[in-house]
Structure 1
Amino acid sequence: MRNLINKWNQLSLVKRIIVGLIIGIILAVTIPDVAKPIALFGSLFVGALKAIAPVLVFFLVMSAISQHKSGHKTNMKSIIILYLLGTFLAGLVAVVASFIFPVTITLAGGAENVTPPGGVAEVLKALLMNIVDNPVKALYNANYIGILSWATLLGLALRSAPDSTKTMITNFSDAVSQMVRWVISFAPLGIMGLVFDTIATNGIKSLLSYGQLLALLIGSMAFMALVVNPIIVFWNIRQNPYPLVFKCIKESGITAFFTRSSAANIPVNMSLCEKLGLDNDTYSVSIPLGATINMSGAAITISILTLAAAHTLGIQVDFITALILSILSAVSACGASGVAGGSLLLIPLACSLFGIPNDIAMKVVGVGFIIGVLQDSCETGLNSSTDVLLTATAEFAQWRKKGKKIIINK
């Protein structure tokens, strides 16, 4: 037994996750009733990630800023530009794809009890109010914009504190980081429980009637991940982008696919940034920020489902209006919450651009919930893996300018 455990621990985390994935699928297909308690592992894993992530972000950001030395470049400006550019391009890709492959949908219910935002102003107001949220409440509710703002202010205030105080904060940060590593080590069990619960509860029959819509959504996200993102990376680092792209998808995207939460995947992304040798001062801020504003997958979902509704209702969409939709979906996506299904509630906002009534728009949201098993998983995988990808891209671009060699370990 000890030899078996040692061999298991020698496997990479990704290989162990794949084993857990396969076991979860087999159990869900063969003995779903007997193996039902397995689903608890998934709930515990996601719950632990969501619980520890706000504390991790708070201490990491506060520690990094309090220890920050004047003149030390953090690349945050470049990262934010890349985040916004990527989200806009994702919306544009979705619009173009919808024009080339127009789809119509069978409108569904099931979204009557949710309330979407009333407009872009309301989305932006909510973001601004989150910045000044009560710090304890922000930690409790995992409001990362609020956590970032208060951690930044505390970090700035502590820059003149004694070294002993800064050391204590760093020790807390290191301790929470170690706790995160312990949680992530249980990812194979968590993924096994999550995939078992997804297949045993939903199956795939309910998705077949929306196969064309799913193909368009997933195809657009794949195009963004495998074509557009690599172009952005290559433009910045001037070398083969795919080793970095595939590493981010493998080590971040896979986990995010099953947790379906950018917020829950923050600890995983932090760990990957550390493996890539990135600057802690940068990624401790950019990763939680990316979980809030870097929403390429959300922009694709909003654009495609909105245009699908327009095509279903026979509404003619001209190119200028479609371009405005790309911008609107990008802005709206930045306000999407980093939880499962967070982008769906912004669809009525985009539908209003075409004069689509709110009751029809909410039926489109209902379709989103039906296909969410795959749509939201792919969306979160793209969103979260891109957080690391663009953070690394900005820093590697600086390395290239300084003549430092960029090596991506497999």
Structure 2
Amino acid sequence: MTQLHSSLVRIANTNLVVQILIGIIAGLVLATLSPESAHAVGILGGLFVNALKAVAPILVFILVAASIANQKKGQSTHLKPIIFLYLMGTLAASITAVAMSFLFPTHLELVTSSTSVIPPEGIAAVIRTLLFNIVDNPIHALMTGNFIGVLAWAIALGIALHHASDATKTVFSDISDGISNIVRFIIKLAPIGIFGLVANTFADTGTEALLGYSHLLAVLLGCMLTMALLVNPLIVFAMTRKNPYPLVFQCLRESGVTAFFTRSSAANIPVNMALCEKLELNKDIYSVSIPLGATINMGGAAITITVLTLAAASTLDIDIDIATAILLSVVAAASACGASGVAGGSLLLIPLACNLFGIPNDIAMQVVAVGFIIGVIQDSAETALNSSTDVIFTAAASRSVLADKN
């Protein structure tokens, strides 16, 4: 008994990443040995994800408002280079997906049933949704996790309080610190939450449904790994002129792993902010750039849209020329930036891209259904890439600005 207690104490004192890896292994073992028990502990994962989702909107709202309210006159937040990296990274992801799809064409075995959800009718519908999300009621935005609306109201309130008394600004700053402490506590529970998520996921889905789409998954994951391990490091090196891999691997470990299992960019916002604090980045910068990145930095979504659209075209023997492929890259990147404003995320934007090739909507919705089948892996990898890249680009731009100053 004493030995067990000492082992638990030793695990509790190890690095959080090590604890998460132990949770993943334990979840896999439990799902293999006892699926019923794995389903039972799934409640731990659900509680963890819901706790992150619950704290994320109020964290963003308070942190952004306090940051802007307390910003000194003439101080720059250096958001422009970060936004540029977000948009460039999303477009690069789409181009990577086009190249991989040409190199490894995919033919789908389309499912017979389509989904009951309704995709947007065009890019105008995506933009319209985003615009209405910006002017959403602030209470409704907080309740529904509409981060575009939360961010817009936080910026507006921060600007309005910029000329408030020092006492008012101090109150907001203290509340911000209090919310941050709550976030730190929730993140400490990540190993337990991820243990529940892994156990429940693998006990529920297994691997049989995924084997039939192994080639499609290989292309999707290949694109995302190429972005994570080659393209993103090149972008970071271009910004900082330093070895990018220590930063890239740290963000993949401490942000990507959590995002992979929570499958929610919104839920990973508190994790990313804690990582930015650990990296000693400027709070005035990351308090805005991280929630913004969860909305517009969508390289993983661009890959999903592009690969599945080109798979549909290949299945129907539609010839794609280079000009049309480039157009698809731009459309996929633009659509991906609006994916968070559309119910169902990136998969529901596939019919929009399929319209470029005249693919009938009923076929496009069957491709969406295929996406849902492989979603347990596709969505996890997509979220991991999107969320970890938010921190990577924020850190790269921040360090580039510091280097220029020195």
TM bucket, shorter chain: over 0.9
CA drift of 1:10 comes to: 1.5
Aligned residues: 403
Residue of structure 2 equivalent to 1:296: 299
SS in 1 for 2:148: helix
Q: Which residue of structure 1 aligns with residue 145 of structure 2? A: 142
Q: For 1:149 and 1:109, how far apart are their aligned partners in 2?
A: 42
Deviates more, 1:300-309 or 1:157-166: 157-166
1:104 is matched with which residue: 92, 104, 107? 107
Match of 1:264 among 267, 272, 277: 267
Residue from 66, 71, 74 that aligns with 1:71: 74
For the 8 Å contact 1:262–1:383, the answer to whether it is kept is yes
- Of the three residues 82, 86, 91, the one matched with 2:85 is 82
Out of 19, 22, 26, the residue aligned to residue 29 of structure 2 is 26
* Structural mapping, 1:7-406, within 5 Å: 7-337=10-340, 342-403=345-406
Higher helix share: 2
Question: Hey, what's the Cα distance between the residues in 1 that align with 2:343 and 2:23?
Answer: 22
Residues 142-181 of structure 1, C-alpha deviation per residue, up to 9 Å, x if partnerless? 0000001100010000011111111111111111111111
Contact 2:114 2:362 in 1 (8 A): no
The CA deviation at 1:35 is 3.8
AA aligned opposite 1:153? A
CA contact (8 A) 2:77 2:285 kept: yes
Show CA shifts across 1:287-308 (max 9, x none): 0000010000000000000000
What's the RMSD between the two structures over aligned residues? 1.3
What CA deviation, in whole Å up to 9, does each residue of 1:213-253 have, x standing for no partner? 00000000000110000000000100110000001100000
Task: Tell me the TM-score normalized by structure 2.
Answer: 0.97
TM-score by length of 1: 0.96
Question: In structure 2, what residue type is equivalent to 1:134?
Answer: N
CA distance in 2, matches of 1:55, 1:201: 32
Distance 1:257 1:351 in 2: 27
Q: Is the 8 A contact 1:103 1:212 kept in 2?
A: yes
Distance 2:114 2:286 in 1: 36
Task: Give the letter aligned to residue 362 of structure 1.
Answer: M
How far apart, CA to CA, are the structure 2 residues paired with 1:80 and 1:110? 39
1:340 and 1:376 in contact (8 A); partners too:
no
Q: Is the 8 A contact 2:94 2:330 kept in 1?
A: yes
**Structure 1, unaligned runs of 5 or more:** 404-410
Q: Secondary structure at the match of 2:324?
A: helix
One-letter identity of the residue aligned with 1:257? F
Deviations 1:360-399 (A, max 9, x none): 1000000000011111110000000000000001001012
What residue ranges of structure 2 are gaps of 5+ in the alignment?
Answer: none
Q: Distance in 2 between matches of 1:226 and 1:124?
A: 31
- The amino acid of 1:162's aligned partner reads S
Percent identity of paired positions between Structure 1 and Structure 2: 58
